[in-house]
Amino acid sequence: MHFTGRTWRPPYEAHSVIIQATSGCTYRKCRFCSLYKNECFRMSPMEEFEEDLAEIKTYQPYARRIFWTGANPFAMNYENLKLRALTVRDYLIKCQTMAMFASIRDIKNKEVWQLRKLKAMGINGLSIGVESGDDETLTLANKGYTSADIIEQCRKLDEANMEYYFVYMTGLAGKGAGYRNAIHSAELFSQLNPYFISVDSLTLFPDTELYQMSQRGEFVPADEKERICELQVFINHLNIRTHLFANTVSNYAPVTAYLPYDREKVTNELQYVIEHTDEQTMRDYRASLKSLGTS
Ligand code: SF4
């Protein structure tokens, strides 16, 4: 298999067969992220992609879901995605779904009819690290798009009936701003139909711009308890039926919920953690984290 550089897949794709479609990220400007900092974006040549498919076929001929690695393989244009999706089907006859990371920017150059066609070819299940639906937070994180862009592009996915998952990041808005971020994000996400929402919590790693900003006093990270309160507010204001997975390593108190049914139960669980754990214990936990544990 041709895996080069950093290979990253979300925890919920653990049962998918993985193949490298791209490596690196087309953007590399999010201030909290250093994942692909030293890696140029590269599309795997078709020969490489096909060699890997042939290899997968030898040991997983009936693979039903494959995950294309790289920060945003959906950055490929329609024709390229189509060619690869059809090629996957040449090798893996039972493959039903090809999932991958995508950015809001990657949807912009695709029409709804193209999204529909790609879905029909098996491309479905886009993991979108929007992180927030609050414009101030999006600007602070330098995500490169606005809340209006999120609405406009994800409505196209909804129209094409293409499944997508959001990532929300607590703590990203900084100290004192978690409440605003949670309300605005929940309101925005509630206008869309993410199949589920995965929640991470900001961990400042030294090789990120946000860390440098914090050293200069330009960014003050939120306390750990504030982040858990932020998650409570986010859950309380989400007004759609969706699954929520706040159980990656970056969450001090891992919880999962099917909303709105589990709303009260989960916010009570989080309240218990707030009342029975001291801030320093939580900070020590975060300081011990060695990787993002996010997507
Ligand atoms: S968060 Fe995603 S889009 Fe932003 S720089 Fe990192 S990999 Fe690229």
Q: Residues 171-224: pLDDT tens digits?
A: 999 999 999 999 999 999 999 999 999 999 999 988 999 999 999 999 999 999
Determine the pLDDT at residue 294.
39
Residue 1 lies in a domain: no
Determine the pLDDT at residue 4.
85
DSSP letters, 77-117, are -HHHHHHHHHHHHHH-TT--EEEEEE-HHHHHT--HHHHHH
Cα of 72 from ligand 1 centre, angstroms: 8
Residue 97 CB contacts under 8 Å (≥ 6 apart), including other chains: 64, 65, 66, 122, 124, 125
Cα of 129 from ligand 1 centre, angstroms: 8
13-20 mean pLDDT:
94
Q: Above pLDDT 90, what percent of the chain? A: 88
Residue 201: helix, strand or coil by DSSP? Answer: strand
User: What are the distances in angstroms from CA 200 to CA 92, 185, 247?
Assistant: 33, 14, 8
CATH number of 134's domain: 3.20.20.70
Cα of 30 from ligand 1 centre, angstroms: 6
pLDDT band at 150 (very low <50, low <70, confident <90, very high): very high
Residue 68's nearest CA partner among 121, 28, 113 is 121
Q: Above pLDDT 70, what percent of the chain? A: 98
Higher pLDDT pick, 104 / 3 = 104
Residue 293 lies in a domain: no
Distance of CA 28 to the CA centre of its chain: 15
**Would the CB of 141 count as within 6 Å of ligand 1?**
no
Higher pLDDT pick, 292 / 65 = 65
Residue 234 lies in a domain: yes
User: What are the distances in angstroms from CA 236 to CA 93, 174, 182, 244, 277?
Assistant: 43, 20, 9, 12, 22
Q: Which atom of ligand 1 is nearest to 27's Cα?
A: 8
Residue 111 lies in a domain: yes
Hey, what amino acid is at 289? L
DSSP letters, 33-80, are --TTTT---EEPPHHHHHHHHHHHHHH-TT--EEEEESS-GGGS-HHH
**Would the CB of 154 count as within 6 Å of ligand 1?**
no
**Would the CB of 71 count as within 6 Å of ligand 1?**
yes
Cα of 34 from ligand 1 centre, angstroms: 8
Which tens digits make up the pLDDT trace of 37-76? 888 899 999 999 999 999 999 999 999 999 999 999 999 9
Which tens digits make up the pLDDT trace of 271-288? 999 999 999 999 999 988
107-127 mean pLDDT:
97
How far is residue 187's CA from residue 115's CA, in Å, rounded to a whole number? 25
Q: Which residues form the domain of 178?
A: 11-287
Phi/psi at 182 (5° precision):
-65, -45
**Would the CB of 33 count as within 6 Å of ligand 1?**
yes
Distance of CA 204 to the CA centre of its chain: 17
**What is the pLDDT of the chain when averaged over all its residues?**
95
**Would the CB of 25 count as within 6 Å of ligand 1?**
yes
What is the total count of domains within the chain? 1
Residue 139 lies in a domain: yes
> Is pLDDT at 5 greater than 80 in this prediction?
no
Distance of CA 102 to the CA centre of its chain: 8
**Would the CB of 292 count as within 6 Å of ligand 1?**
no
Distance of CA 251 to the CA centre of its chain: 15
Residue 118 lies in a domain: yes
Which tens digits make up the pLDDT trace of 247-257? 999 999 999 99
Residue 54 lies in a domain: yes
Q: Which one of 9, 30, 74 would you pick to mutate in the ligand 1 pocket, going by the greatest count of ligand atoms within 8 A of its CB?
A: 30
Q: Which one of 23, 33, 142, 210 would you pick to mutate in the ligand 1 pocket, going by the greatest count of ligand atoms within 8 A of its CB?
A: 33
Cis peptide before 194 (omega within 30 of 0): no
Residue 150 lies in a domain: yes
**Would the CB of 10 count as within 6 Å of ligand 1?**
no
